[in-house]
Amino acid sequence: MSGEAVRIRTAIELAWDGGPAAVEAAVLEFLGTTEALDFVAGSVREAEYQRTIWNDANKGPAEWFWTLGYLASKVVHRDESPERQQHHITAAAGLLANWHAFVAANPSEDGHSRDEPEVASPAAPETEGGQPG
């Protein structure tokens, strides 16, 4: 993390006790930094690039979810350089932008863009008597 980003993160942490207005001011200060602008610009370029090479018309919610998970998993590998980690984060942001656009262009009653099995959620732990805890 750059020195500027550390300074902004510290400002946000210090602003936390100052309430929502102080946090908002610190976040807005960060959004004007070169680091944030580079991330946003890179994410937009990545989203455009992805649209040129992938056909997302038939993707269902689970496919978007698992692709995002795959990209996120690439970030946590210790053998990845910081530059590659940043690339995977930017690619994930591009994917989220495309997923957002896809859902907006293909609304359905249940919030999904196509009939496909939902991604399973973890089961709630049970207590005595078999009732959810």
- pLDDT (tens digit per residue) in 4-21: 667 766 777 777 777 778
Task: Give the total residue count for the chain.
Answer: 133
Tell me the one-letter amino acid at 10.
T
For the ranges 12-26, 87-101, 113-127, which has the lowest average pLDDT? 113-127
Average pLDDT, the chain: 76
d(CA 57, CA 45) in angstroms, rounded, equals: 20
d(CA 90, CA 39) in angstroms, rounded, equals: 7
Contacts 24+ apart (CB under 8 A), 48-57: 48/94, 49/94, 50/91, 50/94, 50/95, 50/98, 51/98, 56/98, 56/102
pLDDT in tens, 29-47: 766 665 666 888 889 989 9
Q: Which pLDDT does position 113 carry in this prediction?
A: 47
Query: Looking at residues 103-108, what average pLDDT do you find?
Result: 83
d(CA 49, CA 46) in angstroms, rounded, equals: 5
d(CA 67, CA 84) in angstroms, rounded, equals: 17
d(CA 43, CA 88) in angstroms, rounded, equals: 10
CA dihedral for 26, 33, 46, 98, sign (positive or negative): positive
Domain boundaries, the chain: 1-32, 35-117
- Residue of 89, 101, 100, 99 whose CA lies nearest to 40: 89
